[in-house]
Chain A
Amino acid sequence: MQEFLQYLISGLALGALYALVALGFVVIYRASQVFNFAHGELLTFGAVLMVWLNSPPQVGELGLGSVSVDGLGLPWGVALFLSMLVTGAVAAAIERFALRPLVGRPIFVAIIITLFIGFILRTFVMLIWGNDAMPILTPWDSMGSFELAGAMLDYNSLAAIAAAAVLFVSFGLMIRFTRLGILMRAISSDQETSLALGIPVGRILGLTWFIAGAFAAVSGIFLGVRDYSVDLNLGFVALRAFPAVIVGGLDSALGAVIAALILGVLEVLTAGYVNAELGAFGKNFHMVLPYVVMIFFLVFKPYGLFGTKKVERL
């Protein structure tokens, strides 16, 4: 039972991070009808930037990591905030300079462009910070945990859940109740009408991408914290959030979040209980499971749990 509770919390934490990644995809898809293939690289960028901003200058041996980072040594919270800001700005710049000029062209072109920008971003990160794993620091004891009803709950998972929850709730309130939220929903409902009403569509799309970029940074950072380090391949996790987007419905933020939580828990439970039973075959079965679920949905329920029917499949 204790073990189960531990897995559950760990799974929820993983799911919460997948959910943040998925939310980034969905927010952009709803605004621009573009599947942003650069999203994974934004995760990497945000996390690496965080490490660089936060790591003290010239650290020698931090214990965990293999490489030392010559960082700026900014306080953790400040570094987190700046990383969100800069990653958001990068995302907004992608929208403004690469995608907005394409308005009216086939969506296909825009999607290829995001793939291409992803490569550029990856190369940029590699040139500046190299491709070794870098230790990521936390203000809490990243190995620490506390006991609840006999289960050991680790701080990293709880922090990830808390961070994701704060972002979900504030995003939800913003989209539902603020003027910006109303305009964002208007634009994703009908862009031409929004233009006709004089809504500053370009500016709001830019802002939407900014928000998605800031979310990417937070998800990248906490995924890094989960592994105690950050490297160039961190962004591949975005591919593992992909099933959540499909299962939840491509245009449903709530659906993606719920699906991501379920898939996260499923992944950790499978790793804990099922893999061992499957012998050699089961070694990485938990990594495959979300795709199995996704394929099941694509076949039997292509619009996902909450998606609208009219959505085209990519």
Chain B
Amino acid sequence: MLELSGVEVVYHSVVLVLKGISLNVPQGSIVALLGPNGAGKTTTLRALTGLLDIHEGRITKGQILWQGQNIASQKAESIVASGIAQVMEGRRIFPELSVEENLFAGASGRPKKDALSDMEKFYARFAILGQRRKQMAGYLSGGEQQMLAIARALMAKPKLLLLDEPSLGLAPKIVAQVGELIQEVNKEGVSILLVEQNASLALDLASYAYVMESGKIVLDGSSQELKDDKDVQEFYLGVGTKQSSYRDVKLYRRRKRWLS
């Protein structure tokens, strides 16, 4: 349903950040995209949703096929209208707008009546959001803000939901709740591309995963395959933790292997 092939992205006309990314999100699936800081995960999502412009970035090569159409370099507005919604890194709720207004802002392309009835559904699902609907969203806790951010993106009625590190900065219990929510949303027919550094969460949820480093996909496979992979275990799942200095050396060596 979504297919990236050989996508390259350059910032400020000079910095090549994505060096030919290819990946696939089949209809109805949850796919994870893993990678360390600075790998280019967020940049990949920006390329998908037409948000490179405001960062002075540009897609210089490759194709992004969405339901058979090339959407590379289309405007954000029309990409959202075509059924791709995004929850950005860091939640990015509008702090001085009320919970209700935040949700409403997510449904700008839809008739008011539909938006209102969807809102009621979210209030039924997240009692807290319902209770605080008139309150400023900035006063919600981190976990509540993440739920709001996801609900707000869903207000656009997407077919594909992109999530950028939804577990970031949340307590384990809340992370589990976010995980459940992602699964529920997926069961309702929304395909999901999940960007994460928290590999154990991502691999539990996803059926297929890609690992990205320095702008390239270095590894991909079914979640089970990746869970069994030694490197992934060591660097992303924290299995068999060793002394840190020794780890750093190994990390460097392994990374070289992946990149070659």
Chain A residues close to B by CB (< 8 Å)? 103-104, 179, 182-183, 185-186, 189-201
- The reply to whether A182 and B80 form a contact with Cβ atoms under 8 Å apart is no
- The reply to whether B152 and A197 form a contact with Cβ atoms under 8 Å apart is yes
B235 interface contact, C-beta 8 A: no
B123 interface contact, C-beta 8 A: no
B77 interface contact, C-beta 8 A: yes
Q: Which 9 A-B pairs have the closest CB atoms?
A: A198-B80, A186-B105, A195-B76, A189-B94, A193-B92, A199-B108, A182-B101, A196-B86, A104-B56
- The reply to whether A179 and B112 form a contact with Cβ atoms under 8 Å apart is yes
* Chain B positions within 8 Å of A191 at CB level: 54
B206 interface contact, C-beta 8 A: no
- The reply to whether B105 and A197 form a contact with Cβ atoms under 8 Å apart is yes
List 17 A-B pairs, Cβ < 8 Å.
A103-B53, A103-B54, A179-B112, A182-B97, A183-B105, A185-B97, A186-B97, A189-B95, A191-B54, A192-B54, A193-B92, A196-B92, A197-B106, A197-B108, A198-B76, A198-B80, A198-B85
Report the bound CA distance from A196 to B94 in whole Å: 13
Chain B residues close to A by CB (< 8 Å)? 49-51, 53-56, 76-77, 79-81, 85-86, 88, 92, 94-97, 101-102, 104-106, 108-109, 112, 152-153, 156
Q: Which of A193, A198, A201 contacts B88 (CB 8 A)?
A: A193
Report the bound CA distance from A182 to B94 in whole Å: 11
* Chain A positions within 8 Å of B49 at CB level: 196
* Chain A positions within 8 Å of B50 at CB level: 195
- The reply to whether B101 and A196 form a contact with Cβ atoms under 8 Å apart is no
Known: A193-B88, A193-B92, A196-B76. A182 touches B105 (CB 8 A): yes
Report the bound CA distance from A152 to B88 in whole Å: 60
* Chain A positions within 8 Å of B101 at CB level: 182, 185-186
Report the bound CA distance from A257 to B102 in whole Å: 27
Report the bound CA distance from A113 to B101 in whole Å: 34
Report the bound CA distance from A245 to B85 in whole Å: 38
Report the bound CA distance from A198 to B115 in whole Å: 14
- The reply to whether A192 and B105 form a contact with Cβ atoms under 8 Å apart is no
Report the bound CA distance from A185 to B96 in whole Å: 9
- The reply to whether A189 and B97 form a contact with Cβ atoms under 8 Å apart is yes
Report the bound CA distance from A103 to B54 in whole Å: 7
Q: Which of B56, B79, B85, B92 contacts A190 (CB 8 A)?
A: B92
Report the bound CA distance from A196 to B53 in whole Å: 12
* Chain B positions within 8 Å of A190 at CB level: 92, 94
How many whole Å from B78's CB to the nearest CB in chain A?
8
How many whole Å from A289's CB to the nearest CB in chain B?
33
Chain B, Cβ-Cβ closest to A185: B97
How many whole Å from A249's CB to the nearest CB in chain B?
14
How many whole Å from A112's CB to the nearest CB in chain B?
20
Chain B, Cβ-Cβ closest to A186: B105
- The reply to whether A195 and B54 form a contact with Cβ atoms under 8 Å apart is yes
- The reply to whether A194 and B105 form a contact with Cβ atoms under 8 Å apart is yes
Select the residue from B53, B88, B108 with max chain A CB neighbours within 10 A: B108
- The reply to whether B95 and A182 form a contact with Cβ atoms under 8 Å apart is no
- The reply to whether B51 and A192 form a contact with Cβ atoms under 8 Å apart is yes
* Chain B positions within 8 Å of A186 at CB level: 94, 97, 101-102, 105
Report the bound CA distance from A200 to B80 in whole Å: 10
Report the bound CA distance from A196 to B50 in whole Å: 8
Q: Which of B56, B94, B109 contacts A198 (CB 8 A)?
A: B109
* Chain A positions within 8 Å of B80 at CB level: 196-198
- The reply to whether B77 and A193 form a contact with Cβ atoms under 8 Å apart is no
Chain A, Cβ-Cβ closest to B96: A189
Chain A, Cβ-Cβ closest to B112: A179
How many whole Å from B98's CB to the nearest CB in chain A?
9
Select the residue from A183, A185, A197, A201 with max chain B CB neighbours within 10 A: A197
Report the bound CA distance from A39 to B108 in whole Å: 30
* Chain B positions within 8 Å of A194 at CB level: 105
How many whole Å from B109's CB to the nearest CB in chain A?
5
How many whole Å from A16's CB to the nearest CB in chain B?
27
Report the bound CA distance from A103 to B156 in whole Å: 26
Chain B, Cβ-Cβ closest to A176: B101
Chain B, Cβ-Cβ closest to A181: B101
- The reply to whether A179 and B104 form a contact with Cβ atoms under 8 Å apart is yes
Q: Which of B54, B85, B86 contacts A104 (CB 8 A)?
A: B54
* Chain B positions within 8 Å of A189 at CB level: 94-97
* Chain A positions within 8 Å of B88 at CB level: 192-193, 196
- The reply to whether B153 and A197 form a contact with Cβ atoms under 8 Å apart is yes
- The reply to whether A198 and B77 form a contact with Cβ atoms under 8 Å apart is yes
Chain A, Cβ-Cβ closest to B105: A186
Report the bound CA distance from A117 to B77 in whole Å: 29
* Chain B positions within 8 Å of A182 at CB level: 97, 101, 104-105
